Amino acid sequence: MLIHCLSILISFLFRTQFNGGDKPMFVLKHSWPEPPVNWQLHSNPPPEHMLKLYIGLKQSHMDDMIEHLLEVSDPTSERYGDHLTKETLNQLVAPTPQSINAVDEWLKENDIDISAYQRSEAGDWLYVNVPLWKAEIMLQTKYHVFQHEETGESIIRTLSWSLPKYLEEHIDVVAPTSSFTRSRPMLQQLSQIQVPLQTTTSASQVSLDSLSNVCNATAITPDCLRTLYGSIDYVPSATDQNQIGITGFLEQYASYSDLTDFMKIYRPDVDDKDASFTIVQINGGGNNQSNPGIEANLDIQYAVGITYPTPNVFYSVGGRPPSIPDDTTPANSSEPYLDFLEYILQQDDIPLVISNSYGDTEQTVPKDYAIRICNEYAKLGALGKTVLFATGDYGVGMAPCTTNDGSNITHFQPDFPTSCPWITAIGGTADIGPERAAHLSGGGFSNYFPQPTWQKAAVKQFLDQLGDKYEGLYNTSGRAYPDGAAHAEYFEVVVDGKVLSIFGTSAACPTFAAIISLVNDYRLSQGKTSLGFLNPLLYKYPKLLTDITTGYNPGCGTGGFNATTGWDPVTGLGTPNFKEFQKLL
């Protein structure tokens, strides 16, 4: 009743803001001077094409939410590990009744029936199916089909969009609009060398006193990584409370039979019939077992290979749009992160660690969109989940390293979502004993997210010794990454029954994630809670990671940054040391 009266009052107030007749005044939300690099205007989509609009309502107590998150992630706080429940989280982020009513009113004005949309549990997202022509009126915009020059991929986007002025304070983002991000797998180089399928001796059966007995720097295996990062003797026991999640985008499917072969070769100590994983299909995500993806197999094989017998979940996220959209094809808007976040945040049972080996340059997304997606990952942190992203395989930036804000200047190109501070960003190393930074390792400084307090001292130490080198090419006050690293070269992966050798931070991310999953197992088995958002812990206790001090990450026509003593923008604080985690936690 109260809400009903309020909504009448509010709708009255809005009308008074209307510009003359019944047309509201619009304010520009975002615009690009030109399509982002490699995207070309292709054609006009049919007006009846159905779009699924994601409307992100302003979250009311985001600052409080972040404060909670920082407290429960600070290892020196009494509240360390006291993660929020989903109910508390949803209450904190729920929009105000004013925002809810304002947006409902807007949809009503546009003859959108309440049955045509859904709300997230917290009420902070609305998912609305509308024909394109209507979205164009609502957002005072024009949608086009854009095609990617290299991949031929096409998406429906706009170069500029607006909102009625009265909604400015109630809505953060509407998507799809002007975000051109693609979820690119972070494995750049793929050796065609095929290693014959053969059974090796398990590390637990060979002498462990020398790493070189187990590791071959040009043929990385799970036992090598388990030895290198100190988890070889650890047997997970909290497997009824612990899961690790792996995301898959772009029709990347993980194969059961390839995992079986992989385990036969690389974990002969495990009965391969026992090693498996669960597949969850989101938003039309497929599962074609005859078409295994290299990225998907790499991720799942190393996650299972290191965490076995911890349950592994593979998320197959759909949503790639038709190559040329027509009006009969259902709305597939290519918003992979939003699709995944929409799904996962509604679940009661979310894996404690989520590994992501995908990303794109930060400047392919508008800043407000990046901030909102980043806040969604912060929610996962507040719930006690660790979200990790690979940092990319192009060192300090993928060519052409020019800005697309109209200024067209040369600048290192940070990657997103890994540049989001609520994510643990994982770079890559190479060699064994000692490891050095891998040349491909993505690293740098965000242009969107300010540097968080927990990393300021570590980053300052690096910048002080760097001096004015590269001045103007990167943002000294931005969120700096990676946070950590793991091996990223010559990973042996079974794909379609053959062993391939893979490079990329895509290999590093599930490896680091798997070690963190084992630390969670260790804590859970002692009745403690999960680690959750990891970064404040890592920066407070850098000993948890092995410092990498050599190597560099060239890119953008430069030698890139050097790995140095302490934190560096190539390998972060270093590679995980499971035994140190055990000692501290």
What is the set of active-site residues? 295, 299, 506
- The closest alpha carbon to 332, from 112, 183, 177, 176, belongs to 176
The distance of closest approach from Cβ of residue 547 to Ca ion in the complex, given in angstroms and rounded to an integer, is 5
Minimum Å gap between C-beta 570 and Ca ion is 8
Q: Which does 394 bind (CB under 5 to 8 A by kind): Ca ion, ligand NAG, none?
A: none
Decide: 343 and 354 in contact? Cβ < 8 Å: no
Residue 290 contact, options Ca ion, ligand NAG, none, Cβ 5-8 Å cut-off depending on partner type = ligand NAG
Contacts of 313 (CB under 8 A, 6+ apart): 243, 244, 245, 246, 277, 278, 279, 280, 351
From CA 164, how far away is CA 170, in angstroms rounded? 11
Look up residue 569 and give its DSSP letter: T
Least CB distance to Ca ion at residue 571 (A):
6
Assess 449 for contact with ligand NAG (CB under 6 A).
yes
Task: Examine residue 75 and say whether the peptide bond preceding it is cis (omega within 30 degrees of 0).
Answer: no
Q: In angstroms, rounded to a whole number, what is the distance separating the alpha carbons of residues 323 and 311?
A: 36
> Residue 3: exposed, middle, or buried by beta-carbon count in 10 A (0-12, 13-18, 19+)?
exposed
Residues 195-234 as x/- pattern, contact with ligand NAG by CB under 6 A:
x--------------------x-xx---------------
Where in 472-491 is the site for ligand NAG (CB under 6 A)? 475, 477-478
Q: Is 566 annotated as a binding residue?
A: yes
Q: Is 283 in the site for ligand NAG (CB under 6 A)?
A: yes
Q: CB under 5 to 8 A by kind: which of Ca ion, ligand NAG, none does 195 bind?
A: ligand NAG
Strand-pairing partners, residue 26, are: 164
**Rounded CA gap, 438 and 571, in Å?**
8
Q: List the single partner that 568 binds among Ca ion, ligand NAG, none, CB under 5 to 8 Å by kind.
A: Ca ion
- Specify the amino acid at residue 377: Y
Q: How far apart are CA 164 and CA 546, in angstroms?
A: 52
Residue 482 vs 510, nearer CB to Ca ion: 482
Site string for Ca ion, 562-581 (x = CB under 5 A): ------x-------------
Among residues 292 and 427, whose Cβ is nearest to Ca ion? 427
Minimum distance from residue 466 beta carbon to ligand NAG (Å): 6
Angle, alpha carbons 273-278-282 (nearest 5°): 155
* Segment contacting ligand NAG by CB under 6 A, of 165-173, 287-295, 376-384, 428-436: 287-295
Q: Based on CB atoms, which residue is closest to ligand NAG, 90 or 218?
A: 218
Pick from 363, 371, 444: nearest CA to 408:
363
| Residue 167: strand, helix, or coil | helix
- Residue 346 binds: one of ligand NAG, Ca ion, none (C-beta under 5 to 8 A by kind): none
Rg (CA), the chain: 24
Instruction: Please report, as residue ranges, which positions from 522 to 561 form the binding site for Ca ion (by CB under 5 A).
Output: 547-548
Work out whether strand 244-248 and strand 312-317 pair parallel, antiparallel, or are unpaired: parallel
Tell me the binding residues: 547-548, 566, 568
Binding-site positions for Ca(2+)? 547-548, 566, 568
Binding site for ligand NAG (CB under 6 A): 34, 52, 195, 216, 218-219, 283-284, 288, 290-291, 318-319, 330-332, 402, 408, 447-450, 466, 469, 475, 477-478, 552, 559, 561-562
